[in-house]
Chains A and B, each alone.
Chain A
Amino acid sequence: MKKLFVPLAVVVAVMFAAAPIAIAMADYESTMLLVQKIFYFHFATWMAMTLAIAVCGLASLVYLFTASKVADWCAVASAELVVIFGLFGLFSGSLWGRKAWGVWWQWDARVTMATMLVLVFLGYLMVRKYGGPGSEKLAAAMGIFGAATSPFVYKSVDWWRTIHPQTTVMKTLGDKWPGAWMLVIFCSVAFLLLTVLLLAARVRLEAMRSRLDELYLAAED
């Protein structure tokens, strides 16, 4: 990862520099015009959040059963990313909702459930901070249960009569509007790579902290 880090950082920087230009040049959507352009980053953040949730859930499971330190670092790093991307997604969604639905906040199924997921991972971070010794394990339980409920969040818009676009919208976009589809994929890849990059940096920070603690203990003896 160390060798790949700088090239990956450059790639992500270039992609994020190119994305706004590509989004600005993309065609207007027929009914929502300029506002629709929020969608490219809005969708991409949720993709990044999904990746972070999956990493957190899996890493928590691995940590719980093997007590691997690296897994624990991965879990805490990804939990932070879930909260960050989740808040960004809720914020961009709120801006879009203001134009599309006429309100800043709408209690529709997807919005409610997404807020809940952000709360779950905020809870994860709180346990780690205030749980005292052994809180890594308690947090791992939170990570596992949070990840387990996320598929329900994804399917909620299909089950619940709601105003958020259904999950089938994405599947038909490729045929109807190939240009936008390519741009959605481009932004999603950029955000996913950014997630990997931040995750790697954060895990390295945890590793260094842990090494520092060991050195302190060794110096005291």
Chain B
Amino acid sequence: MRPGFVEVALLVLKKDLAIEFKSREIVYTTLFFAVACVMIFSFAFVMEEGVPVEGAAAGILWIAVAFSGTLALGRTFERERYTVTLRALLLAPASRAAVYAGTLLGMILIMAATEVVLTPMVAFFFHAPLFTRPLLLVALLALGTVGFASVGTLFAAMLVRTRTRDVLLPILLYPVTIPVIIAGVRGTAALLQSPPEEPVATLWIGLLTAFDVVFLTLALWTFEPLMTE
């Protein structure tokens, strides 16, 4: 009997999480990279008197999320390639869209774990009032992460076959996800205003939702033919 969509997705997620809990490799390296990113930005955006450039926090937060996300994607699929797990999963008599969904969920959880540490850190270092509207900020981060990870997981999975995957992933991923990054940065910047511009943030949250729906539908639809050799 073929297992159902949700069942397969959860099994793949369980597999990814079991590996990650054992080594904690991707979470730790991704987090460290994100912290290093923020530190480098602090040299560029903190002025003479130790005062950060106004509004820089939103951009720094999202660039750190995008960069560390790319690193996590590359690392996750390198591991899959090395142990030939991905091919085994594709050979299994299960819906490929479900395999994609499971991997995507794992990716989102890893990025979320990074963001949980990263966001307070950016708020702390750059004196940014990020938590005045916590629900809106969480919505922005969650939707942005889903949009970025949905395209990222699809592209990283299909690039596993190519020799030049390390350099091609960012080249392909960043232009396509620029709308998501723009929406995230603009939405977060609106929250950083005093008082926070709630209608602007809500507008970007709506846009992010639209991007997520388009990207997820396309990714689920094209994963099967893309992964067929």
Contacts and interface: CB of A to CB of B under 8 A. Distances in A.
Interface of A: 64-65, 112-113, 116, 119-120, 122-123, 126-127, 130-132, 134-135, 137-138, 140-142, 144-146, 148-149, 152, 159-160
A112 B175 CA distance: 11
Interface of B: 151, 154-155, 158-159, 161-164, 167-168, 171-172, 174-176, 178-179, 182, 186, 203, 207, 210-211, 214-215, 218, 222, 225-226, 229
B3 to A, nearest CB: 25
Contact of B171 (A126, A141, A159): A126
A148 B218 contact: yes
Given A141-B158, A144-B222, A159-B207, A127 B163 contact: no
Contacts of B158: 137-138, 141
Contacts, number: 77
Nearest to B176: A145
A65 B229 CA distance: 12
A135 B162 contact: yes
Contacts of B175: 116, 119-120, 122-123, 146
24 contacts: A64-B222, A64-B225, A64-B226, A65-B225, A116-B178, A119-B178, A120-B176, A123-B171, A123-B172, A130-B167, A130-B168, A131-B162, A134-B161, A138-B159, A138-B172, A141-B158, A142-B176, A144-B218, A145-B176, A148-B214, A148-B215, A148-B218, A149-B176, A152-B207
Given A64-B226, A142-B176, A152-B211, A130 B164 contact: yes
Contacts of A131: 162, 164, 168
B172 A142 contact: yes
B176 A132 contact: no
A57 B203 CA distance: 27
A152 B179 contact: yes
Contacts of A160: 186
Contacts of A140: 226
A141 B179 contact: no
Given A64-B222, A65-B225, A131-B168, A146 B176 contact: yes
A127 B175 CA distance: 13
A145 B218 contact: yes
